[in-house]
Amino acid sequence: MSRVCNFAAGPAKLPDQILMKAQKEFMNYQGLGYGVMEMSHRSPEFTAILTNAQQNLRELMKVPDNYKILFLQGGGTGQFSAVPLNLLKRKKADYIPTGMWSVKAAKEGLKYGTTREVFTKGSKYTSIPHPDTWTMDPEAEYVFYCANETINGVEFQYVPETNGIPLVCDMSSNFLSRPVDVSKFGLIFAGAQKNIGCAGVTVVIVRDDLIGHALTECPIIFDYKQQAASNSVYNTPPCYSIYIMGLVFDWIKENGGVDQMEEWSIAKSNLIFDMIDNSNNFFSCPIDKDARSRMNIPFRIGGAAGNEELEKEFVAEALSRGMAALKGHRTVGGLRASLYNATTVEETRKLACFMKEFQDRHEGNVKVSATITQKSVHSSQLTNGSSKATCNGLANGHTNGHTNGHTNGVART
């Protein structure tokens, strides 16, 4: 069986070791004679799976004791409703509109109170305006932001200051890819299907004082108080998704924890950004350098407007060489490479080398439409880590060994 390098934005790649372990246990979990999918959610075995996952996540993120960890259903979109239903108390909240997900969240919040955007958003999401330009309401119940806008490729390199107002963060697409100080947040949520598992479960980490204020019309399965009191088993939880997520937490622990995930993430994103920045505008990324996402990199071929013919050719040829899902989001166009935790440095290098080779073959024939002016990098993080796409021996776009994971597969530079 050959697996491709999967650069999908989500649901996304899972480490091979996890899929193989799940396959092994699929019909017979630890000698029980049946699998996790067939197991009672109130059995001691499933309770152990859930408790282990919670404990490992608490350890990985150093979650303080005054926060509950909930595993809920409804996805990130469910939390766009659950957050105001639990926190808004019919009053007002501020939203930081850096991309399509935060804007969707603000719109959903309007059903339950007043949600206000802290700056006037432009027609495209390619930057994060400086916090000095935001107008924050000191009476807001919470401030909501999305740490990484998956569609637009905009990622915060810092945690916004809210001067005591609870900070709510959608971390769906960069969860566990970098260390965060949980104590700066009132609530963090993340759907599992990008960095930590498969679709079906959403992690909510919520500070104790924000629990117990749900509006009366809040559906009981979204009521943080009910879910905290029943340890996420008020009703049947997404058992199999929780099991897979638990395997991902084990895998992250075994591979050096969040610090190692970040190191790989810096190395991987630098490989692609270096290729783009040194391509003489053959490739371009529309995002300001200080807001570039390490997780989702949107890019175009042939200048800012893109050359759609060539982009189609790029996607098709990449696929024929074992690199899938590089087409950009339908609302943005162009190309997008998603580099979640499970994607290896070696797979990313293969993509970078293919980009180089593609450029060498086509650049003479392409008229670059317009260049993009960007702000310079402020974050030193963007320049750390390995960054040179060494394509020696990879001239045809083939790696010298497709790898199953990080531990035995990462070529460090």
Does residue 195 belong to the site contacting ligand PLP (CB under 6 A)? Answer: no
Q: How far is the CB of 310 from ligand PLP (least distance, A)?
A: 27
Would you state the torsion angle of the CA atoms of residues 146, 150, 152, 153, taken in this order, to the nearest 10 degrees? Answer: 90
Distance CA 72, CA 94 (A): 24
Q: Which is nearer to ligand PLP, 186 or 238 (CB)?
A: 238
Q: How far is the CB of 150 from ligand PLP (least distance, A)?
A: 3
**CA end-to-end span of the chain, whole Å?**
29
Does residue 73 belong to the site contacting ligand PLP (CB under 6 A)? Answer: no
Does residue 75 belong to the site contacting ligand PLP (CB under 6 A)? Answer: yes
CA quadruple 227, 228, 233, 239: dihedral sign: positive
Is 302:282 a contact under the CB 8 Å cutoff? yes
Cβ-based neighbours of 244, under 8 Å, separated by 6 or more:
14, 18, 22, 192, 197, 198
**Which segment (73-81, 160-168, 229-237, 256-264) binds ligand PLP by CB under 6 A?**
73-81
Q: Is 375 a catalytic residue?
A: no
Distance CA 411, CA 286 (A): 29
CA dist 375 → 128, 274, 370, 387, 410 (Å): 11, 16, 16, 20, 32
Q: How far is the CB of 74 from ligand PLP (least distance, A)?
A: 7
The torsion angles phi and psi of 241, rounded to 5 degrees, stand at -65, -35
Q: Cα–Cα–Cα angle for 54, 41, 52, nearest 5°?
A: 20
CA dist 247 → 132, 149, 241, 301, 361 (Å): 42, 26, 10, 38, 42
Q: Which is nearer to ligand PLP, 191 or 334 (CB)?
A: 191
Prior bond to 237 cis, omega within 30? no
Does residue 101 belong to the site contacting ligand PLP (CB under 6 A)? Answer: yes
Q: Is 170 a catalytic residue?
A: yes
Q: Is 388 a catalytic residue?
A: no
Does residue 152 belong to the site contacting ligand PLP (CB under 6 A)? Answer: no
Q: Cα–Cα–Cα angle for 309, 312, 318, nearest 5°?
A: 140
Does residue 238 belong to the site contacting ligand PLP (CB under 6 A)? Answer: no
**Which segment (58-66, 70-78, 216-224, 230-238) binds ligand PLP by CB under 6 A?**
70-78
**Which segment (71-79, 213-221, 310-318, 388-396) binds ligand PLP by CB under 6 A?**
71-79
Taking CB under 6 A as the criterion, the residue among 84, 109, 191, 397 binding ligand PLP is 191
Q: Which of 170, 223, 288, 290 does the annotation list as catalytic?
A: 170
Q: Which is nearer to ligand PLP, 8 or 335 (CB)?
A: 8
Q: Where are the alpha helices (DSSP H) in 278-369?
A: 308-320, 345-362
**Which segment (24-32, 36-44, 170-178, 281-289) binds ligand PLP by CB under 6 A?**
170-178
Does residue 150 belong to the site contacting ligand PLP (CB under 6 A)? Answer: yes
Would you state the torsion angle of the CA atoms of residues 209, 55, 222, 112, taken in this order, to the nearest 10 degrees? Answer: 50
Distance CA 20, CA 197 (A): 14
Q: Where are the alpha helices (DSSP H) in 224-372?
A: 224-229, 239-254, 257-277, 308-320, 345-362
Does residue 77 belong to the site contacting ligand PLP (CB under 6 A)? Answer: yes
Q: Which of 101, 251, 268, 350 does the annotation list as catalytic?
A: 101
Does residue 146 belong to the site contacting ligand PLP (CB under 6 A)? Answer: yes
Does residue 293 belong to the site contacting ligand PLP (CB under 6 A)? Answer: no
Q: Where are the alpha helices (DSSP H) in 374-413?
A: none
Does residue 153 belong to the site contacting ligand PLP (CB under 6 A)? Answer: no
Q: How far is the CB of 81 from ligand PLP (least distance, A)?
A: 10
Does residue 170 belong to the site contacting ligand PLP (CB under 6 A)? Answer: yes
Does residue 145 belong to the site contacting ligand PLP (CB under 6 A)? Answer: no
Does residue 97 belong to the site contacting ligand PLP (CB under 6 A)? Answer: no
Does residue 155 belong to the site contacting ligand PLP (CB under 6 A)? Answer: no
Q: Which of 13, 68, 194, 350 does the annotation list as catalytic?
A: 194
Does residue 76 belong to the site contacting ligand PLP (CB under 6 A)? Answer: yes
Q: How far is the CB of 327 from ligand PLP (least distance, A)?
A: 15
Looking at residue 335, its amino acid is: L
Collapsing DSSP to helix, strand or coil, 103 comes out as: helix
Binding stretches for ligand PLP (CB under 6 A): 10, 75-77, 101, 146, 150, 170, 172-173, 191
Active site residues: 101, 170, 194
